[in-house]
Amino acid sequence: MTSNRFAAVAALALVFTVVFEARKPLAQDAKNQYPNMAPVEEYLMADRNAEIALARTAAPESISRDATVLILGKRGYETAVEGKNGFVCVVERGWMSPSDAPEFWNPKIRGPICFNPQAVRSVLPITYKRTAMALAGRTKAEIIESNKAAFAKGELPPLEVGAMSYMMSKEAYLTDKGDHNVAHLMFYTPVEGAAWGADLPKSPVMLIAQFKGAEPINVMIVPVGRWSDGTAAPVM
């Protein structure tokens, strides 16, 4: 995967996740800028309704309007809106990035994402666990190792077939590097990227290392040509 591709789809992913590896000088600057977690208040959004609205921008209205919406509080994610279609929309923070992401602790990151029901049951618990540990003041290394151990012990659910999510928000803030993310879908799978044709010349599928070293999940990104509001989005 090229460094430019990595930088273009920063995350969370946040995912966060979802960030692409930046060029070395920029990555070093970011690493120096965010060596540790900032005060908790910097990760929170003061306007509850604004966070709900931002979370819903992750997917087309036909999906997000009936989804459950979570917002981040000082103790973790709270249900702000009860949904009825099985989807869950949330704004993820930088600690959902890959473990080696230089902006793991960037308090400005806001990654709207909507999980489908399969991902709600088997991927969203990772978000809950990482978030709880971050808000409890645990280090990046502790968060990654704890999740790795939790999977090994069966404390986190196994990945469900068909788990995917929408990240189609033009309002996301996923990196300080100046590039916006591309509108994309994320597919979670234990299968290696080669089986999807990921990262091959002219292939629209990209493999990212959001859960590298922590959770046994590969994430395939497929860019789409429209933002969630239907307007045209750049396609890599």
Q: Where are the domains of the chain?
A: 3-223
pLDDT digits (tens, 9 = 90+) for 134-179: 999 999 999 989 988 988 888 999 999 999 999 999 999 998 886 5
pLDDT for the residue 5 = 40
Query: Residue 227: what are its φ and ψ, rounded to 5°?
Result: -75, 170
Average pLDDT, the chain: 84
* pTM reported for the whole predicted model: 0.83
Closest CA to 228 of 120, 117, 114, 116: 114
pLDDT of residue 58: 98
Question: d(Cα 184, Cα 186) in Å, to the nearest integer?
Answer: 7
Residue for token pair 């995917």: 164
Residue 191 pLDDT: 82
> Which comes out higher in pLDDT, residue 179 or 10?
179
Other residues' Cβ atoms within 10 Å of the Cβ of residue 100: 15
Whether 39 shows a pLDDT value over 70: the answer reads yes
One-letter amino acid identity for 150? A
Q: Report, as an integer, the average pLDDT of 98-102.
A: 84
Report the DSSP beta bridge partners of residue 15: 12, 17
